[in-house]
Structure 1
Amino acid sequence: MSENDEGAVTERSSWFIIFSLLVSTFFSGFGGGVVFPIFPALGTILGISPFLVGVILSANRFSRLICSAPAGAIVDRFGARTPYVLGLGIQAIATFGYIVALYVPLPEAWFLGSRIVLGAASALTFATSYTIAANVSVGDSRGMKMGLIRGGSILGFPTGLLVGGVVSDLIGMSAAFFVAAVFAVIATGLAYWTIPETHVEDGTSRSVKPWDIDTSIPTLTLGLVNFGIWFAYMGVLFASLVLFLEATGIGALGFDAQGSSGIFMALTVLSAAVSMLIGGKTSDTWDSRVPVMLVFLSLLTVGFVLLPWAESARQLAPVCVVIGTGMGGTLGPYMALLADLTPEERMGRASGTTNVFSDIGGGLGPIIALPLIESIGFVPVYTVSAGFPLFAGVALVVGLYVSTGKLFPKTGGTDSTVEAAD
């Protein structure tokens, strides 16, 4: 897309495209949120080990780990619209698989298979949504627009957490899974009718191999940041919070651990959605996005340090807000910084590559954390998890200094800077 084309898109339709992405990613994120209040309790319901529960929770991460880089290359070659719609549709089918799993022999195998398919499909939607947003954004509003897109799935997620916990508690798991599947179908239809192609010229494709990945230093650096954030937040907190509530007896609004975990996780994600917009918009106005990210990474660390010492809902609620604020405030400028430092023709691969790192972190978290919590308790596991955002901050500063020669590269980096670093 040329500068003139980009200007035309920005003036005439960029906000419509951003809004369409926002709504469809909201509906898609809803389905992802439903499972977390339910899945950690599968051990009791199905009589399986905590390790296998962790594998089921992480299966989508590991399948997306394999598919994210090829998905990004496919986007750079063929465009973003078709993979985006296709990914949403496959996610809807996979969500219906959860319902099937409740009524067939070997339900754990069905849950595992559905999570694997869901992960492969979400690789397409993540790589495409960020690429489309980057294509229609410019430097002085990029942080806010990228924050809005990330916030779409984030806002859908707490809705799913709340509905998943409350509906499963009041009606049953199958009802909660059915609602999630319906939302995924709505997201697919909305994307099909409203999202145009923005990444390749009509009737053309780029010479990019499906197995190509982006190995530039800025992309790998931001990938490490992604790893640190998602290991702690999604991999540890979301996989274990329902167990923490059971162990401490903390509840909210009269619900048991499943319903209460949905409420507290929703609180983290709602605060993340707000701070994502604040962080993205703030990074648009500052000379560099990096200091904004470091401030919010520090908040994420503080939240995990305080987390295991919460003894009541009144103490846990503000801790959840701090954790969500730290996570969301980092991710808004994070995606904008990736777009700043990546040439447009490599944006799909860069998005896919950084998603690989988040999937490694989010996938390893439950497998490592759940057995460790069972053996040594919550305090050491949550305390060690507090170090991962610190690792992300160090990786950010060091990697960008190696790449650009500056500790705080300016907002709206140029392609030449990145090319010089390759």
Structure 2
Amino acid sequence: MSGKNDNTEISRRRSDRILLLLGIILFLNGLGSGVAFPIIPLLGSVIGVSPFFISMIISANRISRVIFNTAIGELVDRYGCRGPLIWGLLIKALSVAGFIFSIWSPVIPGHLFFISRFLYGIGSAMGFITTYAFMFHLTDRSNRGSRTAYIRTAGLFGLPSGLFIGGLLSDYFGYSAAFAFSAGSLFLFTLLAYSLIPGDIDSTPETEVLGPVRAVRLALTDSRVLRISSANFLEWFAVQGVFLSTAALFVERIDLSLGGLGAEGMSGLLMGVMMFTKGLSTLILGRFIDGASTRSFFSLVGASMGVLAFLSWALFRSLAAVTLGLLLLGTCSGITSSPLLTLLGDVSRPELRGKSLGIYRVFGDAGGMLGPIFGVNAAEGMGFTPTYLILALVMTAIMAIILPLYRRERRDLLTNPQNRS
């Protein structure tokens, strides 16, 4: 018995080392990716395209993710995680290199940029699905929550670091230099993943080859996968979609200022506060979630904070109310998503984890695509008070979706007490 426990402890330590490496790669990957993002909206005059086409370029990566997420999930289930992870990083690196070529291309630079951004989305989807499939495979019910929080926090803090570096590089050295730094970083992280991530860990046992439609239907036979993905759709629609696309307009409309900052500076500052709060709440949550009897309870609390956040913006206009709303929304986003993602790992069959993650990602990306379309038009047409009241109702709908998950977890705990951490 002692030998078995020793082997289990060695396996756990090895898994944690691999997850630590994945977290570092995810942070650095977010840093490299973030460098490019703030530059793209400013490229219209450089590559000679209209604002509408720039918006299409910005959306191209999300469009490709919606199209390819489930196929990538099946690829991961069939062939394992390591290969798709490395290829995903390489595709992202080549795509950013394509940004540089597009700037200097004498012909159709806008179309080349769109194609590069589209391919970037495929690499991004491969990175997300493989990282979390790796994490699901290397964890169990007793430690999956804390490891999910760690992986998410690494990505959350990597992206804003890249945004800051990208802004500095583009200001001092130009757009091409910033893209070159991003591409070089991503190539380096590809080599790091290839060299250090072991090849003897497969995500799942061998499974039969399934068509994409049958694969998705099989993953959705558990209604919990559909509920978790639906909650993810609404959260991305409200927070990543509507709110992020209207925040600068909202700040400008209510003439909010601090220390002489204009609308752009204030919205950037407030977004930074929200992202920091999201990362911090996710990190703190990781210390408690594995010891809790249910995952979804935290998501219910998080969604209720989202309701309060949107009510504060709908009804009040002071700096204190806006700041409080941002703190609530950052915490909401941090403690709503992580428990649901952890629960997805708990309930997904091992041979279907890639497909389940693909479905989860499709729903989120679809919400993130539709949110800005609704948000900008609703804010301009109805005003911010009705728009944010609608978002409060959306967060209430998330609670309604999660409540049956909570009841199911409680019922399973009574029938299977060994599920308690």
Which TM-score tier does this pair reach, normalised by the shorter chain?
A: 0.7 to 0.9
Q: TM-score, normalised by structure 1?
A: 0.83
State the 1:350 CA deviation: 1.1
Q: Aligned letter for 1:329?
A: I
Aligned to 1:217: 223
Please list, as runs of the form range in 1=range in 2, the aligned pairs for 1:249-398 lying within 5 A after superposition: 250=256, 258=264, 260-307=266-313, 316-398=322-404
Matched, 1:192 2:187: no
* Number of residue pairs the alignment of both structures matches: 408
State the 1:253 CA deviation: 6.9
State the 1:144 CA deviation: 0.4
How many Å separate the matches in 2 of 1:313 and 1:174? Answer: 38
Please say if residues 252 and 263 of structure 1, whose CA atoms lie closer than 8 Å, have aligned partners that are also in contact: no
Matched, 1:22 2:18: no
Distance change >3 Å, CA 247–CA 343, structure 1 → 2: same
Out of 141, 156, 173, which is 2:143 matched to? 141
Please list, as runs of the form range in 1=range in 2, the aligned pairs for 1:222-261 lying within 5 A after superposition: 222-248=228-254, 250=256, 258=264, 260-261=266-267
1:201-260 deviation per Cα after TM superposition (whole angstroms, max 9, x unaligned) = 8xx843233622221211111101110111122212333334444555556776665555
Moved more, 302-311 or 351-360: 302-311
Please say if residues 162 and 262 of structure 1, whose CA atoms lie closer than 8 Å, have aligned partners that are also in contact: no
State the 1:136 CA deviation: 1.2
Moved more, 14-23 or 52-61: 52-61
Please say if residues 268 and 321 of structure 1, whose CA atoms lie closer than 8 Å, have aligned partners that are also in contact: yes
Unpaired runs of 5+ in structure 1? 417-422
Q: Which has the larger radius of gyration?
A: 2
How many Å separate the matches in 2 of 1:23 and 1:228? Answer: 29
State the 1:135 CA deviation: 1.2
1:80-135 deviation per Cα after TM superposition (whole angstroms, max 9, x unaligned) = 00101110111122223333444445554344322211111112111111111111
Moved more, 225-234 or 377-386: 377-386
Distance change >3 Å, CA 125–CA 245, structure 1 → 2: same
State the 1:407 CA deviation: 5.8
Distance change >3 Å, CA 365–CA 134, structure 1 → 2: same
How many Å separate the matches in 1 of 2:332 and 2:415? Answer: 23
State the 1:146 CA deviation: 0.9
Secondary structure at the counterpart of residue 208 of structure 1: coil
Distance change >3 Å, CA 141–CA 356, structure 1 → 2: same
Please say if residues 49 and 110 of structure 2, whose CA atoms lie closer than 8 Å, have aligned partners that are also in contact: no
Aligned to 1:420: none
Q: Kindly, what percent of the aligned residue pairs are identical?
A: 31
Distance change >3 Å, CA 370–CA 165, structure 1 → 2: farther
Secondary structure at the counterpart of residue 199 of structure 1: coil
Q: Aligned letter for 2:156?
A: I
Aligned to 1:126: 128
Secondary structure at the counterpart of residue 139 of structure 1: coil
CA RMSD for the aligned pairs?
3.5
Distance change >3 Å, CA 225–CA 245, structure 1 → 2: same
Matched, 1:98 2:104: no
How many Å separate the matches in 2 of 1:332 and 1:413? Answer: 23
Please say if residues 267 and 320 of structure 1, whose CA atoms lie closer than 8 Å, have aligned partners that are also in contact: yes
Distance change >3 Å, CA 379–CA 114, structure 1 → 2: farther
Please say if residues 288 and 411 of structure 1, whose CA atoms lie closer than 8 Å, have aligned partners that are also in contact: no
Aligned to 1:163: 165
State the 1:138 CA deviation: 2.2
State the 1:35 CA deviation: 5.2
Q: Aligned letter for 2:67?
A: I
Q: Aligned letter for 1:75?
A: V
Please say if residues 294 and 410 of structure 2, whose CA atoms lie closer than 8 Å, have aligned partners that are also in contact: no
State the 1:366 CA deviation: 2.1
Please say if residues 101 and 107 of structure 1, whose CA atoms lie closer than 8 Å, have aligned partners that are also in contact: yes
Aligned to 2:80: 79
Q: TM-score, normalised by structure 2?
A: 0.84
How many Å separate the matches in 2 of 1:295 and 1:160? Answer: 31
How many Å separate the matches in 2 of 1:336 and 1:110? Answer: 38
